[in-house]
Amino acid sequence: MKATSRPPKLWEGFFCTSKSFVFLNKEVFYIKSSYELTQKDYLQFIKYHYLQNTSGILIAFIIMIVPFSIFYLREVNDTQPFQWFMIPIYLGAYIFLIDTLLFRGIRQAKKNGFFGAYYVELTEDSFKSESTISSMSIRWDLIHRIIECRKCYLVYTQKNCAIIIPKRTFLSEEEHQNWRKQIVLFSKKEIC
């Protein structure tokens, strides 16, 4: 039979924890999870993007190495006061760059109401996500990719747009493995 998004009747059998539900039925299989998205989760998402971006890593490397190499390669006698003056300037610029890249995104997300309660549902037909500010349902063939980080999953709906699902959402390892197995089965994509 065709899968439906209706909730099963109580006698059809279900497994329930405090945060997520797994409904088993001959007609339909789907998983529901709810969680609270925090600033730490969003920071994991930002860190993943900057570590995957080779130009971002190159810029950070240049900003760190070039000033210190200039500082140590110049003659000590002629420019010693200048060298000591440049260290705080370069460190200040580096701290400003980190603040701009990492924490501005967090402040903007907080301002837009990005943090808070989220509800995610996996069905055979689609991946559904709801929050206080938005709701979306995406067919599995439109999912760009699925990434597993140390503390969260990133389900990319577009190249640079992802739904963040923290691993703390899953109360047990069995629940976590079941979710992982179902998302691979439904999406027909491997988790990177």
User: 78 and 20 in one domain?
Assistant: no
**Tokens read off for 60:** 């950070």
Q: What is the pLDDT of residues 36-61, one digit of tens each?
A: 999 989 888 888 877 777 776 777 77
User: 145 and 119 in one domain?
Assistant: yes
Q: What is the pLDDT of residues 82-134, one digit of tens each?
A: 666 777 777 787 778 777 777 888 888 889 888 999 999 988 888 999 988 88
Where is the domain boundary, 111, 128, 160? 111
CA distance 90 to 66: 10
Q: Say whether pTM exceeds 0.85.
A: no
The answer to whether residues 33 and 19 touch, using CB atoms and an 8 Å cutoff, is yes
The span from the first CA to the last CA of the chain, in angstroms, equals 32
> In this structure, is residue 157 part of a structural domain?
yes
Strand-strand pairing, 20-24 and 14-16: antiparallel
How many domains is the chain partitioned into structurally?
2
CA distance 85 to 4: 68
| 38 Cβ contact partners less than 8 Å away, ≥ 6 residues apart | 115, 166
User: 76 and 162 in one domain?
Assistant: no
Query: What is the sign, positive or negative, of the torsion defined by CA atoms of 94, 99, 101, 102?
Result: positive
**Tokens read off for 68:** 């210190």
User: 156 and 102 in one domain?
Assistant: no
Mean pLDDT on 67-88: 66
Q: What is the pLDDT of residues 4-39, one digit of tens each?
A: 444 433 323 333 333 444 444 444 456 888 999 999
The H or E element that residue 32 is part of is strand 29-37
Among 148, 158, 150, 152, CA closest to 184: 148
| 192 Cβ contact partners less than 8 Å away, ≥ 6 residues apart | 145, 146, 147, 148
> In this structure, is residue 4 part of a structural domain?
no
Give residue for tokens 């996996």.
122
User: Higher model confidence: residue 85 or residue 157?
Assistant: 157
CA distance 45 to 55: 17
- The CATH number covering residue 17 comes to 2.30.29
Radius of gyration of the chain (CA): 23
> In this structure, is residue 46 part of a structural domain?
no
Range of the domain at 76: 51-111
User: 129 and 142 in one domain?
Assistant: yes
> In this structure, is residue 6 part of a structural domain?
no
CA distance 124 to 2: 9
Where is the domain boundary, 111, 138, 159? 111
Where is the domain boundary, 62, 88, 111? 111
Mean pLDDT on 58-82: 68
The answer to whether residues 189 and 146 touch, using CB atoms and an 8 Å cutoff, is yes
